[in-house]
Chain A
Amino acid sequence: MNTVAAIEPRHAAGQRLRERLFRGATFTAAVLVLVLLGGVALSLLKGALPAFSHFGFAFLTQEVWNPVTEKFGALAPVYGTLVTSLIAMLLAIPVSLGIAIFLTELAPPWMKRPVGVAIELLAAVPSIIFGIWGLFVLSPILQHHVQPALIAWLGPLPVVGKLFQGPPFGIGVLTASVVLAIMVVPFISAVMRDVFETVPDVLKESAYGLGATTWEVIWKVVVPYARTGMVGGIMLGLGRALGETMAVTFVIGNAHRVSSSLLAPGTTISASIANEFTEAVGDLYTSSLVALGALLFLITFSVIAAARFMLLRLERRALSNV
């Protein structure tokens, strides 16, 4: 270093300065990522504080949501968020698994890429498109053809029947769940496909060599090997479903209540915020909505963090296998 500096002192000094500047810029930008997440968390907490301190723990357990009397409880939106996401996952996981299996093990090579790209394009469609499609196309179909059948067949059953009571509104918790399911399928299946592709061929070939059928190879070799990654993908999809706003806002009906029937209108955290935030008057109302946002952040953060940890572990294992 000294010799270089002796030969071209001015040049080297300039180089070193630029190096310091560039390195500093990249470092600052990288730290900004941390600051950003911290800022998001802090600003939500600060905004939510008035609501939390005013209502206390009751904020979580009360169903009432009345802007006139300024009584707010998060039960209905939290319930709606969890239930719609849960049903969406129940619908989406088998379908995603099927797609991932088809793309990695079954599809002839000429089909893999176009079908894979088509499914990925479904993931690129913005959520508002799913919302407008769900409202104008899907919900009339559900209302006229699917929901009456559900009410007629499942309604009279004990226990399960409770979920399918009341008139077929078209919009409601069930419709929102179906739209969410369609939205998360591309995400989950893309992750599952990538995870399946990390399974070493030797393992699969050994199973085939023992006379296993394709399905047995998938179910007893591929799936157990890829389990962690699959769960990671599912959690990622769940995080997506929990926080999804526009698609849900269109079709859920926006009613702040907890109904036992899946056909009834409900609301989710993100739908409530999207619908009411700009119209909220009064500090307590706004703060309650931000508090909902803070709850959503907490829920999705834990789910996403868990998902990333699982995928990270898998990545490490894949690396150590190479």
Chain B
Amino acid sequence: MSSSTIMTGPAQRRRTVRKFINVVALSLSGLATAIGLFFLGAILWTLVKNGLAGMSTALFTESTPPPGESGGLLNAIYGSVVMTLVGILIGAPIGMLAGTYLAEYGRTSRLSSVIRFVNDVLLSAPSIIIGLFVYSVFVFQMKHFSAIAGALALAVIAMPVTVRTTEDMLNLVPQGMKDASTAMGAYPWRTITSVIYPAARSGIVTGLLLAVARISGETAPLLFTALNNQFWSSNLNAPMANLPVVIFQFALSPYKNWQQLAWSGALLITVTILILSIVARFVVSALNPGAGR
């Protein structure tokens, strides 16, 4: 900053410079937000444009076709729904129990802080690693790929999510309610199941919805657990088609009809997940405005 030749003096000039920097920096941060929103818009726009072109009833009534023939995604949709549900049914109860331990029984114990830390690591661990893990402890031992292996991998991913949300939500329940129940002579399990769970119900449901949203788009852990299946299969002990892996294979194929199906599948998954995430938010704000953001 050279000393000024401007008539208003150095202090005035410094002020102008500071204000100028202020405006530039703040505009840049507004620009950054615009960039973020732009990409969300661009991705959604591409999905809707390409995905809607392939929407038809055949999408929901026919199985994945060979190259060049018409077909739908029925087997993949079915597989995704089944594996996500089984994954949640295995992962969520365990996650809820573990979250209950962290929030109620072992709130301040040393073990709990270790578990919290490990859970956080699992929460952000690369999902392909989870796939490798389930492959080596399950698929490799069974000697074949199967839908149940895929569901297990999804359960491992859903579990830490539910642990975290359950603990957070149980912590929101006022201590007074717990004390009141204890004062009436209730054992802790009674207090937890009859007072704390009902009070935290919406929060727990939100956690479950977020866990479903998280696992229903996971691709990497399914690649070498559930694999894929071009045909209709409802056998949990055999490879099963699923939307993410079908999208992966079809999008990278040279066939136009497969690519179209990949786009439609991508639109289906994204819309489902966005709806789940938005509904989850509403459930929280209905329970406790301002708590869950």
Binding site for B on A (CB under 8 A): 4, 15-16, 18-19, 21-23, 25-34, 36-37, 39-40, 43-44, 46-47, 94-99, 101-103, 106-107, 115-122, 124-133, 135-137, 182, 185-186, 189, 213-216, 218-219, 236, 239-240, 242-246, 249-250, 270, 273-274, 277-278, 290, 293, 296-297, 300-301, 304-305, 307-308, 312
Q: Which residues of B contact A245 (CB under 8 A)?
A: 126-128, 219-220
* B159 pairs with A36, CB closer than 8 A: yes
Q: Which residues of B contact A95 (CB under 8 A)?
A: 32, 35-36
Kindly report which residue of chain A lies nearest to residue B163, judged by CB atoms.
Answer: A33
Kindly report which residue of chain A lies nearest to residue B39, judged by CB atoms.
Answer: A182
User: Which one of B119, B188, B190, B273 contacts A125 once the chains associate, using CB atoms below 8 Å?
Assistant: B273
* B26 pairs with A250, CB closer than 8 A: no
Q: Is B182 part of the binding interface, using a Cβ–Cβ cutoff of 8 Å?
A: no
Which residues 36-57 of B have a CB within 8 angstroms of A? 36-37, 39-40, 42-43, 46-47, 50
- Interchain CA distance A5-B64 in the complex, whole Å: 64
> Given contacts A44-B133, A46-B136, A128-B219, is CB(A121)–CB(B22) below 8 Å?
no
20 additional contacts, CB 8 Å, given A43-B133, A122-B40, A305-B121? A15-B187, A26-B101, A26-B104, A37-B121, A43-B132, A46-B136, A98-B32, A122-B36, A126-B244, A127-B217, A129-B217, A129-B266, A213-B19, A216-B18, A216-B22, A240-B124, A277-B132, A290-B136, A296-B128, A304-B120
* B105 pairs with A137, CB closer than 8 A: no
Q: Which residues of A contact B156 (CB under 8 A)?
A: 36
Which residues 186-241 of B have a CB within 8 angstroms of A? 187-190, 192-193, 213-214, 216-220, 223-224, 227
Q: How far is the CB of A233 from chain B (nearest CB, A)?
A: 12
> Given contacts A30-B115, A290-B132, is CB(A106)–CB(B122) below 8 Å?
no
Which residues 98-145 of B have a CB within 8 angstroms of A? 98, 100-102, 104-106, 111-112, 114-115, 117-122, 124-130, 132-133, 135-137
Count residues of B near A (Cβ-Cβ below 8 Å): 92
Q: Is B82 part of the binding interface, using a Cβ–Cβ cutoff of 8 Å?
A: no
A-B pair number, CB within 8 angstroms: 266
Q: How far is the CB of B260 from chain A (nearest CB, A)?
A: 12
* B293 pairs with A116, CB closer than 8 A: yes
Q: Which residues of B contact A19 (CB under 8 A)?
A: 187-189
Q: Which residues of B contact A274 (CB under 8 A)?
A: 128, 220, 223
> Given contacts A115-B37, A239-B124, A243-B126, is CB(A33)–CB(B159) below 8 Å?
yes
User: Which one of A30, A128, A214 contacts B217 once the chains associate, using CB atoms below 8 Å?
Assistant: A128
* A236 pairs with B125, CB closer than 8 A: no
* B97 pairs with A246, CB closer than 8 A: no
* A39 pairs with B137, CB closer than 8 A: yes
Q: How far is the CB of A284 from chain B (nearest CB, A)?
A: 16
Main secondary structure on B side of the interface with A = helix
Main secondary structure on A side of the interface with B = helix
Q: Which residues of A contact B21 (CB under 8 A)?
A: 213, 215
Q: How far is the CB of B203 from chain A (nearest CB, A)?
A: 17
Q: Is B274 part of the binding interface, using a Cβ–Cβ cutoff of 8 Å?
A: yes
- Interchain CA distance A44-B33 in the complex, whole Å: 40
Q: Which residues of B contact A249 (CB under 8 A)?
A: 248
Q: How far is the CB of A124 from chain B (nearest CB, A)?
A: 5
Q: How far is the CB of B284 from chain A (nearest CB, A)?
A: 12
* B25 pairs with A119, CB closer than 8 A: no
* A135 pairs with B220, CB closer than 8 A: no
User: Which one of A189, A213, A244 contacts B36 once the chains associate, using CB atoms below 8 Å?
Assistant: A189
A-B contact pairs, 9 of them (CB 8 A): A21-B189, A22-B192, A36-B122, A47-B132, A101-B29, A126-B218, A245-B126, A304-B124, A308-B117
- Interchain CA distance A96-B94 in the complex, whole Å: 35
Q: Which residues of A contact B112 (CB under 8 A)?
A: 30
> Given contacts A23-B188, A126-B219, is CB(A213)–CB(B22) below 8 Å?
yes
Q: How far is the CB of B209 from chain A (nearest CB, A)?
A: 11
* B223 pairs with A278, CB closer than 8 A: yes
> Given contacts A99-B36, A132-B251, is CB(A29)–CB(B220) below 8 Å?
no
Q: How far is the CB of A31 from chain B (nearest CB, A)?
A: 8
**4 tightest A-B contacts by CB?**
A243-B126, A126-B217, A98-B32, A29-B97
* B133 pairs with A103, CB closer than 8 A: no
Most buried by A among B35, B104, B263: B35
